[in-house]
Structure formats: structure tokens, C-alpha cells
Chains A and B, each alone.
Chain A
Amino acid sequence: MSPDPRTYASRRQIGVTAHGLSERALALFAEGYRLALVAAHDDGEGFRVVYLFVAGSPDRRVELILRTDRAIPSLATLSFPAGRFEREIGDLFGIEATNHPLPRRLVLHQHWPEGWHPMRHDAGPPPPFGDIDEPYPFLTVDGTGVYEIPVGPIHAGLIEPGHFRFSVVGETILKLKARLWFVHRGIEKLAEGKVLADVLPLAERVSGDTTAGHALAFCLAVEEARDWQVPEQAQVLRAVLLELERLYNHVTDIGALCNDVGYGIANAHAQRIREQLLRINKHVTGHRLLRGAIAPGSTYVRALPEPGVLAGIATDIQQLVDIALDNSVVMDRMAGTAVLSAEQARDIGTLGYVARASGIDHDARRDHPFTPLTAGVAAPAHTGGDVLSRLLTRAAEIHNSVALITELLSGRAALGAETTKPTWLARGRTSGVGLVEGWRGTIAHRVEFAPDGTVSRLKIVDPSFFNWPALPVALADTIVPDFPLTNKSFNLSYAGNDL
């Protein structure tokens, strides 16, 4: 009896054996599904691994559920993201993926003692750091004139920690290895055994720039698990908040991209526009980063954003982009730089604007809508896969976001709505999945409740987890001074990647 004791309207659960897993997965991939999330669970008497596959138009969600004592068959040869999920599970739960092509540590750095797996129920407090039993396996590139540039994890600017190892000849990058996982806060572990009100603030803080996205994905997961019907009015407000978050982040990054090529004036003006948007956020929700508006079963704002003002901002930013790209040097720096081909983007499993700029059209607003009003978002028009395409994709999304907000707010002017929590019926474990198109891409949350109503497991997947491996691929054969620009054009979260 692997699946939950109840069924769900929009999600199919299928128990599988270790033997049948890869066959089932293969069949799902053939039907157009992608792997959105893999969550392991320590049930005490054994482990349970849940593979969530999703497909869009129409919205389909299938979970394969596998029970195991300590090993799972690896799907790494079928799906690149699966291999990364399996390494994560290997570190955090000590479940081995058999026949994994790269059975290395991913999350836990080498100084963590062998055999300590923090997500197990009996893990206990963190042990003291041990000796590094094996050095980090950086691939050494040999050859005449090849040298290595190590950068970080501490950087000159105010950015998150990450270590990058460049193997270069002259200025050309032969290989880049990104070593992340310096910001593990144990969010998933912290959520265990807590009541809803204590977990929501955790979800809001997964990645500081994606407050609304992660809060909403968590709420959608909770609401599915508890059959919690949310009024359409609240769903509309949620969609508006999601777009407000997209707006201020896209504007910030367009400015930062211009700044990285030394075009400071564009950044100065992008910062001005960003400040306007943050003040709108404050006016709407009482918090510049949109905290506190979205909660399970409800959404409340203090005021509605003014579509006219937002339209003015959209015109402003469009002008800024036009001025920046009129500069031939800015154009030269961005066009053709760090191309991620459609094939690479698909194989790696990228999401969000990174995927869309390479012509892979994933968008949860259309593929997995929580309100039918967002199902009509426009497909991307820029598919070159270079820095310029990523910038233009985001500029176009700003325009579409403002149009969407205007449409969402037309004729629906309530400041909030809620449904009270459904009475809890103890009938064993329940689970729920939330899929949300945050500004970086599709966010997935999967929550499980114990019979007493506390959260027994929360699995969070930020799109950064899927997109990080694409960065070194796009950078092959570009030059070292173009790395910061490329990195900014991806703008992946270090914290969202490393929970």
C-alpha cells in the first residue's frame, strides 16, 4: 500500500517496484511528461521515494511511488535532472542509486562525516566536521598553457556564495565547474513536525527574491492535500502578486545586465524603476518583498495596484531596453554570447526564461494554471539562447505581466477572500503538490501531512536546481570576462538551490 490512503482529483499515484520504475518513467517521458520533483521519505520502517512527473496542456500530474530499504535504481540515464535528485537523496537520506553514472556527493561537502544523513529521522544534531576524506573531484584539464582560475565562494560584490573553477587557455574557458551548496539551512528538516502557521514563514524565506512564488506553491500544495477550496477572488489576487514579483525582479536584472557591460546609466534608471515597483509592493501588501499576503485558503492585500501606473512603468522599461540595445557595444557584448541551444536546454531540463529564451516553452501559468485566467500567457518570441535572448525574453515578459495584471484586475476589485480551514478528518497520510510559475521558472512544492495535521515532509524544488547545470554548458568556449554577464543573464538562486 504505497500510495496515500485517499485519491486526488488532479494527481494520479501509482505504486511501482524497483523493477518497473524505469519502464514506467520511460513511458511517461514518451507521453511528454517531465520529472518535476523527487522526494524521499523516511517512514521509520523503510524509505519511500516519490517521483512527480508533470505535463502541460492539459495539466497532468503522475506520481510514481517506490518503497525501498536502502537502494533505488538510477534513472540518470533517462533524465539528467533525475540523476541530480538521486545524488541529493543519496546525501540527505543515504539511499543509494544503483548504476548511477556519477555517484558523487552533491549537497554535503567533503568535510561532513561519511554516513551522516541529516534528513533521516534518527540523524540527530550535526556532528563536528571531520577530516576531508577525499578532495573535491575537480576535473583537471591538461595541456600547454592551460591554467585554472578559482573564484569564490567569497566574491567582491554582494552576491551569494558559490565557488567557480575555470580551466582556461588564455582567456577562453575550456571548462567551468560550479561548486555550490554553501548555504544549506535545513529548511525541509525545519518544516517537519510543525503546524501550518509555522511552515508558511519558512516557505516565504526559501529565496528572498521569490517570496510570493514559494509561498504560493506551498499554499497550493497544502490546499490540495486538505481539499481546501479557495475562492476565485483570492486566486486572482495571487496571480497578481506573482506578476508583481516577476516585474521587480526582471527590471532589476535588466539593469544589472547593463551594469555588467559597463553601461551604468541604464542600471541607474532600472534601479529607479525597481524602487517604484517595490513601493507599489509595499502599498499593495505592506511589505516591499510581498510577504504576508498569501496564506493557505486566503489572500489579502491592503490595496490593488494601479494598472495605469504599471503601464507607465512598462513603457519606461521598454524605452530603457531600447536605449541600451541601441548602443552597439552593449549589443555586441550580449548578442551571440554564451548560447544555450534548444537541445541542451531540453536535455538538462531547464525551466523559466532560461528555457524559453532557448525555445523550450515551459510556463506553469499555462501548463498548470491555478486560475484559468492565466492560461493564455503568450509564448516567447526570442529563441536564440544567448544573453541577448534571455534579456529580450524578460523584457517581453515585463510587458506581458503588466497586460496580465490589467486583465486580472478588470472588474474584480475585492481586497481579499478566504475559505476557512476544512475540518480535519483523520484518515492517514495526505499529500499535496503545488506548481507555480515564479519569475525564475516553475517552482514545485510537495507537502505531506501526518494524521495529526502537522507537516510530516515538505519537499521544495526551485527552478535554480534544474537551471544551474546549464550555466557551465552555455559558457563553453566563451571568454572569462564574459562570465559575470552570462551568470547574471541566468541569475540563479544559490539559496533556492540549497535548502
Chain B
Amino acid sequence: MSTLGVVVQVVLLIVVAPYLVGVMRQVRARLEGRAGAGAGQPWRDLRKLFRKEPMSPAGSSWVFVAAPAVLVASTLVIAAVSPFVATVSPLDGVADLFAVVALLLLGTVALALAGLDTGTAFGGMGASREMTVAALAEPTILLAGFALSARVGSTNLSAIVERGQQSPGAVLSPATLLAAVALAVVVVAEAGRLPVDNPSTHLELTMIHEAMVLEYAGRDLALVEFASALRLTVLLGLWANLFLPWGVATTASAPALLLGVVAFVAKVAVLGAVLAAGEVFMAKLRLFRVPELLAGSFLFGVLAVSSSFFLA
């Protein structure tokens, strides 16, 4: 029965991820006074791209072809093991904070290598910028994770989520709030959203994530686009369940799973809408200010860890 939870969770994330991107674009369009293309547009784009032939640039190696698969696979593993819908899972032992951070980084590195593999200036430029952002963002994830796990005495994500459900008051503790702020900044940076990166720009020279994937076409591009939507969903889902753990199924029964699904969709949709609405009022930071922003989030992480020891 607990296997069912994993299957439901993976299928749900696959279906929801492109819709999340669609909802966010739609929210943004409406707030800007535009009609928007509708929440289903990312799925329609993916269907179109999956039917098209992939092309590899001359001189690129297997790294370029393998990267989208690695990216999607690593993100799917996170989708399978982390407690999004249910905390009971046969894969529970893998749902470790370090494993999840490592998997996220694996996808980032795969794409950065693919960017370098194309041999174009943009690929290299994007890879260099992405690595800079990743190097500054990953320590913050770990620190914020420590702040949360110190309370539980385990880095297992399911354990952290279950503990949060048992003692709701802990969500308002200084450590948790500081960690929430730190992680929120990192989620924005990792997902390549404003003010760190502008996912809707056409200006090659300002791109971070998009610059690495400029050479992809057809199925490969569809995989990259899908993976970035899935990554956004996973990051928002993790944030939601770490700080707002209500509704996550702790048993593998059908009603509990159903509630878990509804709660997850609702939380991610609301967070996505809030993020999109926030982006309307935000401009993109000058590239050299991004480290300052991430250093700020790191500081929040440090404070979260300290307060989890001193104020707990």
C-alpha cells in the first residue's frame, strides 16, 4: 500500500509541474493587465516539442545528449523519495536532506557540463554563472536544513515533516522562521526566478539558466523544460512541507493519500501564485548583486542554526 503513495506522488508531480509554471505565468499576465496564454500552455508546448527532432551542435559529445536525461532522472528521484504527499514510503531511508541536496546539485552540474560541451560562448557563460549561483545557494540549503534537523535529531525529511505535524507551535519558533526565509531565497535562486534570473527574457547576454540550454531543440529541449518545471515544483513542495507540514499523509490509506494530494496541490499553487505575484513588483538584480542576496540568505541560515541551539 505504501508503494501506492510513491506512485501517486510521482505521477502527481509529473502532471502538476507544467501546470504550476502555467499558473504562475497566468497570474503574472493577469496582474500585468495581459490576457495570458492559459495555465495549460506549458503542457501544449511540451507536447509540441516532444514531437520534434532533437539536434546536437557539431562537435558536442554524449554529455550534451545525456544531460537532459540526468536532469530529469535526478529530479524524479527527489520527487519519489521526498515527503510531498505521504511520509510513509518504502524509499523513506533515501529521503535524506543530504541526498536531496546532492541530487539537486547533480542535475545542475549535468546541465552546466552540457552548456560547456556545446563549445559556444553562451553555454560557457551560462554554466559559469549557474555554478556561481549554485555554489552560493547550496550551503544555505544545508544550513537551513541543519536548523530544522537539529530539533528532530535526524536529517530524514519525513521525520522533520512528521515532527512538524506533531508540534505545530514549533513552526513559529525563531529557528524555523529564519530557516524559512533563508530557504525561500534559495528556492528562488535555484529555480531561476526573479530577481536572480529572468525566465522570460530573450536577451542572451543576461541569461543564466536559459543561456546553458540555448542549443537544445526538440525532445531534448522538452526534457530540459519539463525538468525545470519539475524542479520548481519540487523546491516549492519541499519548502511548503517543511514549514507548512499540514495535510501530508502519515498513513498509506486512500483517504489520507487523497487529502495529501489535495493539500499538496493547494499549497504549491498558492506558493506559486504568491511567487508570481511577487515577481510582478520585482526587477532583475544586477548580476554582481546576486551574491549579496545569497550571502544574506546564508546569514539567515547561520542565524537559524544558532538559534535552534541557543533558543530551543
Q: Cβ of A260 < 8 Å from any Cβ of B?
A: yes
- A329 & B205 in contact (Cβ 8 Å cutoff): no
Q: Cβ of A155 < 8 Å from any Cβ of B?
A: yes
For B31, list chain A residues within 8 Å (CB): 265
Q: How far is the CA of A332 from the CA of B287 in the complex (A)?
A: 11
Q: How far is the CB of B202 from chain A (nearest CB, A)?
A: 4
For A268, list chain B residues within 8 Å (CB): 32-34
Q: Residue on A with the closest CB to B200? A: A264
Closest 7 CB pairs of A and B: A262-B284, A157-B202, A268-B32, A484-B203, A263-B283, A329-B283, A149-B121
Contact flag A260-B203 (CB < 8 Å), given A171-B287, A329-B285? yes
- A329 & B125 in contact (Cβ 8 Å cutoff): no
- B33 & A264 in contact (Cβ 8 Å cutoff): no
Among B34, B280, B286, max chain A CB count under 10 A is at B286
Q: Cβ of A364 < 8 Å from any Cβ of B?
A: no
> What would be 9 A-B contacts, judged by CB atoms less than 8 Å apart?
A149-B125, A156-B202, A262-B195, A262-B284, A265-B281, A268-B32, A268-B34, A330-B283, A333-B285
For B32, list chain A residues within 8 Å (CB): 264-265, 268-269
For B209, list chain A residues within 8 Å (CB): none
The total of interchain contacts (Cβ-Cβ below 8 angstroms) comes to 80
Q: Residue on B with the closest CB to A259? A: B201
Q: Residue on A with the closest CB to B202? A: A157
Q: How far is the CA of A357 from the CA of B214 in the complex (A)?
A: 36
- B33 & A333 in contact (Cβ 8 Å cutoff): no
For A147, list chain B residues within 8 Å (CB): 121, 124
Q: Cβ of A231 < 8 Å from any Cβ of B?
A: no
- B205 & A480 in contact (Cβ 8 Å cutoff): yes
For B124, list chain A residues within 8 Å (CB): 147
Q: Cβ of B204 < 8 Å from any Cβ of A?
A: yes
Q: Cβ of B28 < 8 Å from any Cβ of A?
A: yes
- B34 & A333 in contact (Cβ 8 Å cutoff): no
Q: Cβ of B149 < 8 Å from any Cβ of A?
A: no
Q: Cβ of B62 < 8 Å from any Cβ of A?
A: no
- B284 & A484 in contact (Cβ 8 Å cutoff): no
Q: Residue on A with the closest CB to B32? A: A268
Contact flag A329-B284 (CB < 8 Å), given A148-B121, A156-B203, A480-B205? yes
* Interface size classification for chain B: 20 to 34
For A151, list chain B residues within 8 Å (CB): 121, 204-205
Produce 1/0 per residue, B288-311, CB < 8 A to A: 110000000000000000000000
Q: Cβ of A202 < 8 Å from any Cβ of B?
A: no
Q: How far is the CB of A85 from chain B (nearest CB, A)?
A: 31
Q: A149-B122, A329-B284 are in contact. List 12 more A-B contacts (CB 8 A).
A: A151-B204, A156-B202, A156-B204, A171-B288, A258-B283, A262-B283, A268-B33, A327-B282, A329-B285, A333-B286, A479-B288, A484-B205
Q: Which chain A residues in 368-396 approach chain B with CB under 8 Å?
A: none
Q: Cβ of A481 < 8 Å from any Cβ of B?
A: yes
Produce 1/0 per residue, B176-199, CB < 8 A to A: 000000000000000000110010
Q: How far is the CA of A482 from the CA of B198 in the complex (A)?
A: 14
For A480, list chain B residues within 8 Å (CB): 125, 205
For A479, list chain B residues within 8 Å (CB): 286-288
- B288 & A262 in contact (Cβ 8 Å cutoff): no
Q: Which chain A residues in 132-165 approach chain B with CB under 8 Å?
A: 147-151, 155-157
Q: In the complex, which of the residues B122, B125, B284, B288 contacts A261, with contact meaning CB atoms closer than 8 Å?
A: B284
Q: How far is the CB of A74 from chain B (nearest CB, A)?
A: 35
Q: In the complex, which of the residues B195, B283, B286 contacts A482, with contact meaning CB atoms closer than 8 Å?
A: B286
Q: Residue on B with the closest CB to A483? A: B205
Q: How far is the CA of A482 from the CA of B283 in the complex (A)?
A: 13
Q: Residue on B with the closest CB to A478? A: B286
Q: Cβ of B206 < 8 Å from any Cβ of A?
A: yes
For B214, list chain A residues within 8 Å (CB): 156
Q: How far is the CB of B276 from chain A (nearest CB, A)?
A: 11
For B283, list chain A residues within 8 Å (CB): 258, 261-263, 327, 329-330, 333
Q: How far is the CA of A272 from the CA of B35 in the complex (A)?
A: 13
Q: Which chain A residues in 257-290 approach chain B with CB under 8 Å?
A: 258, 260-265, 268-269, 272
Contact flag A481-B121 (CB < 8 Å), given A156-B203, A262-B194, A264-B32? no
For B201, list chain A residues within 8 Å (CB): 262
Q: Which chain A residues in 42-72 approach chain B with CB under 8 Å?
A: none
Q: How far is the CA of A269 from the CA of B33 in the complex (A)?
A: 8
Q: Residue on B with the closest CB to A260? A: B203
Q: How far is the CB of A116 from chain B (nearest CB, A)?
A: 33
Q: How far is the CB of B59 from chain A (nearest CB, A)?
A: 16
